[in-house]
A = this chain, B = another copy of it.
């Protein structure tokens, strides 16, 4: 079983997730600059989620360049990742309307946390399935950034009950870490 159709399906789902989030931005009611103001936090919020879907697409793209073997379980782990990411638009819209409240920030963080766990499960299972794959092994030696991100999400979730803005800052900070693509895999390929 090749990875091409799995990649095509994931590309489709990620392309739709990244695009339907924009449906959460409501057309301003007035026609002046003032009516754009309430859109600004939502727009920043949309930008953050857009970057996160972009990060997952990039990392997914990198990972499936080294993964050679696919079976049914890997397809389902991939669907688990897509399921959590599919909840990002509604969570983004909830956050966009209540960005000073604890729970919308907690839920957003939990989706990021569960997505990162799902991505790690894909990596681990792919390595178990194909433990002779040297490129995959090399890319696993240094998982610092992934572990740090997952921990930072967990910290941000706890902090959200007292300082929701700090949590949002942490989410944005982790996103910045990842805009740099996964050099481990890039290196292991060259």
- Kindly supply a per-residue 1/0 record for chain A positions 158-186, scoring 1 wherever the CB is within 8 Å of any chain B CB and 0 otherwise: 00000000000000000000011111001
Q: Does A125 make an interface contact (CB < 8 A)?
A: no
A161–B73 Cα distance when bound, in Å, is: 36
Given A22-B90, A93-B27, CB of A72 within 8 Å of CB of B180: yes
Cβ distance A74 to chain B, nearest Cβ, rounded Å: 10
Binding site for B on A (CB under 8 A): 1, 5-9, 11-20, 22-25, 27-28, 31-33, 35-36, 47, 50-51, 54, 57-58, 61, 65, 71-72, 75-76, 79, 82-83, 86-87, 89-90, 93-94, 97-98, 101-104, 107, 179-183, 186, 189
Which chain B residue has the least Cβ–Cβ distance from A96? B27
